Amino acid sequence: MFENVKMPEGMNPEVLEHLMDPKNYGKLDNADGVGVALDEKTKEYVIFYIKLDNDIIKDVKFATNGCQDTVVIGSMFTQMIKGNNTEYANSAVEKIHKKLGKLSAQQQVCADIVFTAFLASLKNYENKQNGADEELHLLKMKESCETPQKDEKKENE
């Protein structure tokens, strides 16, 4: 798709593909599990929707108000886990870290918010299976996407 595009130095072509054309973005109606990861400091969130058939992830979508790193990681991660079982999906977290290479501290938090939303969707599915009347499962992030430079500026004001 991007054969004639000059790649920015150090950018993986797959990352560019997901940046320009995110996969599995949006809402999944009638999801079996809905999870939300929330960064209370920045109000950034990721909503993760899963449709399961036994242990197989038949369909998956995500939505976010986050940055482009969050969108790219969400797109890549959902593509990796779609059609696979939940055990594979849990191991895909490590695989995507290898694929992305060294991440900045902020990019790491962007990745973690995607993975946390996925875990929350599995927890929502599990809770529903155990009889809970839960629309979604919310997990709050321990780390914030807010960069240290922003924190330093606030301290200097």
pLDDT over 70 percentage in the chain:
85
- DSSP H helices in the chain: 13-20, 68-81, 86-100, 105-129, 148-156
User: How far is 95 from 53, CA to CA, in rounded Å?
Assistant: 23
Average pLDDT over all residues of the chain: 86
pLDDT of residue 55: 92
Tell me phi and psi for residue 69, to 5 degrees.
-60, -40
Whether the predicted pLDDT of 99 surpasses 50: yes
One-letter amino acid identity for 120?
A
Query: What is the three-class DSSP state of 2?
Result: coil
Total count of residues recorded for the chain: 157
Q: Parallel, antiparallel, or unpaired for β 137-140 and 33-39?
A: parallel
CA atoms 78, 62, 126, 40: torsion sign: positive
| Residue 104 CB contacts under 8 Å (≥ 6 apart), including other chains | none
Could you tell me which residues are beta bridge partners of residue 90?
A: none
DSSP letters, 26-38, are S--TT-SEEEEEE
| Share of residues in the chain with pLDDT > 90 (%) | 59
pLDDT at 4: 58
With beta carbons less than 8 A apart as the criterion, state whether 76 and 99 touch: yes
Q: Which domains does the chain have, with CATH numbers?
A: 14-156 (3.90.1010.10)
* pLDDT per residue as tens digits for the range 19-38: 788 999 999 999 999 999 99
**Residue 111 or 58, more confident:** 58
DSSP class of residue 29?
A: T
pLDDT digits (tens, 9 = 90+) for 35-45: 999 999 999 99
Residue pLDDT, tens place only, 49-95: 999 999 999 999 999 999 888 999 999 999 999 999 999 998 988 88
**pLDDT score at 115:** 94
Q: What is the pLDDT of residue 147?
A: 57
Write the CB contacts of 91 (distance below 8 Å, at least 6 apart in sequence): none
